[in-house]
Chains A and B, each alone.
Chain A
Amino acid sequence: MQKFKAEFDNSADLCIKYINVENISCAVITLAGMVNKDTVAISVVNPIIDASVKGETPLEKFNYIKDYIISAVDQTQVCTYEDAFNMIMSGFALFAVDGCDSMVSLGVQGFPIRAVSEPSSELMQRGSREGLVESVNINMTLIRKRLKSPKLKFEVINLGKTSQTAVCLCYMTNKVSKDILEKIKENLSKVNLDMVIEAGYLVPYLEDGGDFSLFSSVGMTERPDTICGKISEGRVAILIDGTPNALIVPYLFVEYFQHLDDYSMHTYFATFTRWLKYLAFFMSTLLPGLYVGISTFNPEILPGPILNKIALAVSTTPFSLMTETIFIHLIYEIMREAGLRIPRPLGHAVSIVGALVIGETAVSSGLIGGPTLMVVALTAISSYVIPNLYEPISILKFIFIIVGGLLGIWGIMIIFTAVLVNISSKKSYGIPFTSPIAPFKFFAMRDILTRCGWSFLSKKNIKVQDLPGSEVK
C-alpha cells in the first residue's frame, strides 16, 4: 500500500479500503470515478466482510476469497506493480491480501462514458445511426455485434509511455495478411510518444514508407459498420481508447471516394454519386487554378459571354485575378476555421458576417469580382463532397492558383502530373496506393468506375492483399 501511496503521491482520487478478515489485513484499491461504487460494494467489499474465510496462510485465504467470495466476473491475477497500475488506471479494482505477492484485478469499471450516437462527420442517409464512442471496449462490442464470427480478433496493446493508452488491433484472422499485420505491429512498436491522446497521433507511425505525400494511406472512420466492411476485405482497424475514430490500414486512394451509403442506394444512383465525387475532387482541386490560369493566359478558350463577364469584373477590381482568388480563399479558410472552433451559438454570427462581408459588401464595393466569388463557392462546396480529402485539397488548390497565375495551364499541367507521380509512388503496406486503377485490375472496376449490383459484387471477395501490384501475400 505504501508503494501505491508513494507512486500516486496521495492523489485525491486514490481510494484504499482496508478490511480485516480473520486477523489478516486486506485492501481494495480503486480510483474514484473510475469504478462503479455500487458494484464494488455489492460484489467485492460486502461479500468479503460477511464471509467466513477458510485457509491458514495468507495465500490460501487470498485464493479462497478470490475463488469463492468475490462475485465479480472479470478477474485477472496481477503479479507486478506495472500491471497493477495499468489495471487500476483502466477502471479496475485491485484486491490485495497482506502477505501475498500477487493481487487480483476486478472488472468493476464505472467511469462516465458518452452514449452511442450518430457520428457527426460521417452521416448516412440510410443505414445504422450508431457511431464509435470514446471507450474502446464499447467500440469492440459495436463491431462484434455486427460481425458474429469467431475469426474476428481484437488484440490490445498499450501505447504512450505516460498515457498507457489502450490501442486495439481489430482484424479477421482468416482474411488479414500476416505480412501486413506484422508490419503494423512493427510500426506501432516504434511509437515513442509520451502521450497518445488521439488517433491522429498514430497516423505518422502507420504511414508506410515515410516519403512526403499530401495524401494519407491511413484511413479514418467513426462508423463501426464501415470498419466491418473494411476488415472483411483483409484490412486492419485500429481502435484507440479515448477517441471515437478508428484508423484503417492499408488504405488506398480510391477508398476516399467510397462511402457506405453507396451500398444501400440503387446501383445506377450509387454509380452517379461516385462519379460526382470524382468530378468534385477535380473541381475542388483544379477549378480555381484553371480559372486564374485560363483567364490570365488563355482567355480564348472561354466562350465569349463568360469571357466578357470576367473581363468586366477584373477591370473593376483593384487586384489581379490571382491575388483576388488567393485572398478570397484565405478569407474562406479563416471563416471555416472560425466556424469550427467558436462556440456553437456564435456559429450563426460567423455565417451572417461571412455572407454579408464577402458575399455582399466585397462584391458591391468592387473589391472582389462576382465570377471569382462564384468559383470560390463552387470549389468550397465541391470539397465538402469528399470531406476526408479536405486537407490535401485545401493545400493543392492554393498551389494550383499560384502556379496558374504565374505559368498558366502549362504550369498547372506540369504540377498536376507531379502530384500524380507523388500519388502513384505511394504504397500502403506493400500495396500501390493507386491500385486497382494503376496497376489495373478490370474485375475491381465493379466498385470503382461503377457500383455494380450485389449479385455481382458478392461473386468474389477481393482481399486487399490480392490487388494488383501487391508485394504482400
Chain B
Amino acid sequence: MEKRPCISTGQIFSMLFISKIVISMTYGSLLIGDSDIWDHLVSVPISFLLTFLIVWPIYKLFSMDKKMNIMDNIYNLIGKWGMALIFAYIIYYLVICFHTLAVFNNFISNAVNPPISITFLTFILIICSCYGAYKGLEALARTSSFILISTVFSVVFLGVSLFSGVEVINFTPLMYNGSESVKEGVIYMISQSPCIVALAVLLPMGKGNKKRGIIIWNFLVYLLFAMIIVLIIGSMGDFVYTQLFPVYTAAGIGKFGSFRHLDSLYLGVWISGIFLKLSLFFILASEGIKKVFGEKVKKISIVVFGVMMASVSCFPGFFGILKTSVTTWVLFYFLIFLSLVVPSVLIFIKFFKLKRRNNIED
C-alpha cells in the first residue's frame, strides 16, 4: 500500500486560496481585452455559483470512493486507454505552471522593472519551487499556513489603507455599456481557477470536512475578488483602465498612518504565493507521472519540469503569452473539460459498472 501524504482540509484550501490570490493580485482590465472591471462585480456572484457547479462532478466522484483521486479513477475505470487522460491532467498542471511563470515575468518586467536580470530571478524561482515540490505536499501545506497568515494580514492592511481613499463618485452604474464585460469577467474568473482541477487530486489527501472547505474557500475567493474590484475602482476611478496591474498600483498609492509604499508588502506576499503555486502544480503533475511511470520517476519528474520551465522562460516570446486573450479561452475550455466533462464521464462509467455488478449479484 503506497503511503499518501495526509494533510488537513484547512491546509488544502489555504494552498488553493493562496494560489488564487496570486492571480487575483495581477487582475487588470488590459489583460482581459479592455473589459470594464466595474461590471465584473456582477461576474463575481455568477462565477461563485458556477464554481460550485464545476466542482460538483469532482466532489461527487471523490465521495463515491474517498481514497481515490481522479487519476486512480481513470486508471481503474478506463484502464490503459485512460493514460491519455492522465497525460491531459499532467499537461494542464504544467500549462498552469507556464502561465504562472508568464504572469510573473510579465508583472516583474512591466510593473516593477527592477535593475536585475529577470531571467536569473526566474531561474531562482524555478529552482526554489522545484525544491518546494521535492520536499512534498505536507511540507508545502505547512508552509502555506505561514504564508496564509502573512497574506491575510497584508490583504487586510492593504484593504484598510485603500479604504480611506475610496470615493463614491467613482462607482458608475453597473452594466452601463451592456453585459459583454460581465461575460468576459466570468470567463476570466473561471479560467483562472485551476484550483478546481487541483481538487481532483488533492481531495483524497485531506482529512476533515471537504464540503464545508469548498464552500468557505469559494466564498472567500470571490469575496476577495469583489473587495479588490470595489477598492481599486473606488480609490482609482478611471485611472484603473490605464494600468496593466491596477492592484499593484493601488498598493503603491495606499497609505496607512506613516506607512507608505505598501507595494513592497504586496510584492512579498505575491512572490511567496507564486512560489507556492508553482510548487503545488509541480507536485500535482508529478502525481500523474507517478501513476503512469511509477513512484521512482516521481521525484525525477520534478527536476525535469523545472528544466522545462527554465528552458521555455529563456525564449523572449514566452513573456508575450498573456497579451493574447486566447489564453483565457484555452484555459477555460481546458478547465471545463478536466473538471466537468472527465469527472462526469467517470461518474457515469462508475455508476454503470456498479449497476451491472449489482444485477449480476442479484
| Chain A residues near B (Cβ < 8 Å) | 294, 297-298, 300-301, 303, 406-411, 413-418, 420-422, 424-425, 432, 434, 437-440, 468-469
Kindly list 16 other residue pairs between chains A and B, CB separation below 8 angstroms, not including A413-B272, A424-B135: A297-B116, A407-B120, A407-B124, A408-B114, A410-B114, A410-B121, A414-B275, A417-B147, A417-B271, A417-B275, A418-B275, A420-B147, A424-B139, A425-B135, A437-B146, A439-B8
Task: Please name all residues of chain B whose beta carbon is closer than 8 Å to the beta carbon of A421 when the two chains form the complex.
Answer: 131-132, 135, 139-140, 143, 279
Query: What class of interface size applies to chain B in its complex with A?
Result: 35 or more
Q: How far is the CB of A314 from chain B (nearest CB, A)?
A: 15
Q: Which are the 6 A-B pairs with shortest beta-carbon distances?
A: A425-B139, A438-B145, A424-B142, A438-B142, A425-B135, A413-B271
Q: State whether B272 touches A410 (Cβ < 8 A).
A: no
Given known A-B contacts A413-B271, A414-B124, A422-B135, A406 and B261 have beta carbons under 8 A apart? no
In the assembled complex, the Cα of A411 lies from the Cα of B115 at a distance in Å of 13
Q: Are B124 and A411 in contact (CB under 8 A)?
A: yes
Residues of chain B within 8 A (CB-CB) of A411 are: 116, 121, 124
Contact B261 A415 (CB under 8 A): no
> Which residue of the partner chain A has the closest CB to B264?
A301
- Return the chain B residue nearest A211 by Cβ: B135
When distances are taken between beta carbons in the complex, the residues of chain A under 8 Å from B108 are 410
* Minimum CB–CB distance for A393 against chain B, Å: 18
Q: In the complex, are the beta carbons of B264 and A298 less than 8 A apart? A: yes
How many angstroms between the C-alpha atoms of A428 and B149 in the bound complex? 24
Cβ 8 A contact of A420, one of B116, B143, B260 = B143
A432's contact among B142, B258, B260, B264, by CB below 8 Å, is which?
B142
State A298–B265 Cα separation when bound (angstroms). 12
* Residues of chain A with a CB closer than 8 A to B131's CB: 418, 421
Chain B residues in 8 Å Cβ range of A303: 258, 260
Interchain residue pairs with CB less than 8 A apart (24): A303-B260, A407-B120, A407-B124, A410-B116, A413-B268, A414-B271, A415-B124, A417-B132, A417-B272, A418-B128, A420-B143, A420-B147, A421-B140, A424-B146, A425-B138, A425-B139, A432-B138, A432-B142, A434-B146, A438-B11, A438-B142, A439-B8, A439-B11, A469-B142
Q: Which residue of A lies closest to B135 (CB)?
A: A425
Residues of B within 8 A of A437 (CB): 145-146
- Most A CB within 10 A of own CB, among B121, B139, B140, B279: B139
Are B132 and A418 in touch, CB under 8 angstroms?
yes
Which residues of chain A are near B116, meaning CB under 8 Å? 297, 406-408, 410-411
Q: Which residue of B lies closest to A300 (CB)?
A: B261
Please provide the chain B residues from 145 to 202 with a CB less than 8 Å away from any CB of chain A in the complex. 145-147
- Closest residue of chain B to A426 (Cβ to Cβ) is B139
Chain B nearest Cβ from A451, distance in angstroms:
20
Chain A, Cβ-Cβ closest to B272: A417
The chain B residue sitting closest to A437, CB to CB, is B145
Q: What is the distance, in angstroms, from B53's C-beta to the closest C-beta of chain A?
A: 31
- A158 and B272 CA atoms in complex are apart in Å by 48
**B121 interface neighbour in A294, A407, A422, Cβ under 8 Å:** A407
**Chain B residues with CB below 8 A from A298, complex form:** 264
A403 to chain B, nearest CB (A): 8
CB pair B121–A440 under 8 Å, yes or no, is: no
A77 CB, min distance to chain B CBs, angstroms: 48
Chain B contacts of A407 at CB under 8 A?
116, 120-121, 124
A417 touches B276 (CB 8 A): yes
Contacts of B112 in A (CB 8 A): 410
In the docked arrangement, what's the CA distance between A24 and B4, Å?
A: 71
| B136 x A301 contact (CB < 8 A) | no
Q: Is B28 at the interface (CB under 8 A from chain A)?
A: no
Q: Are B146 and A438 closer than 8 Å at their CB atoms? A: yes
CB distance from A414 to the nearest CB of B (A): 5
Residues of B within 8 A of A418 (CB): 128, 131-132, 275
Residue B125, interface by CB 8 Å: yes
Q: Which of B128, B140, B142 is close to A414, meaning CB atoms less than 8 Å apart?
A: B128
- Cβ 8 A contact of B146, one of A420, A432, A469: A420
Measured between beta carbons, the chain A residues less than 8 angstroms from B271 are: 410, 413-414, 417
List residues of chain B with CB within 8 A of the CB of A300.
261
With A421-B143, A434-B142 in contact, do A297 and B121 touch (Cβ < 8 Å)? no
Given A417-B128, A421-B140, residue A409 in contact with residue B264 (CB < 8 A): yes
C-alpha gap A440/B114 in the complex (Å): 37
In the bound assembly, the distance between CA atoms of A469 and B147 in angstroms comes to 19
Q: Closest CB of chain B to A192's CB: distance in Å?
A: 29
Interface membership of B267, Cβ < 8 A = yes
A423 smallest CB distance to B (angstroms): 8
B288: CB under 8 A from chain A? no
**Residue in A closest to B120 when the chains form the complex, CB atoms:** A407
Question: CB-nearest residue of chain B relative to A471?
Answer: B6
Q: Name which residue of chain A comes closest to B261, CB basis.
A: A301
Residues 1-43 of B, flagged 1 when their CB comes within 8 A of A and 0 if not, give 0000000101100000000000000000000000000000000
The chain B residue sitting closest to A297, CB to CB, is B114
Minimal beta-carbon separation of B146 from chain A (angstroms): 6
Cα(A34)–Cα(B272), bound, Å: 60
CA gap between A417 and B261 in the complex, in Å:
22
Contacts of A410 in B (CB 8 A): 108, 112, 114, 116, 121, 267, 271
Q: A417-B147, A421-B132 are in contact. Are A440 and B267 (CB under 8 A)?
A: no
| In the bound complex, CA of A439 to CA of B8 (Å) | 8
Contact partners of B258 in chain A: CB under 8 A: 303
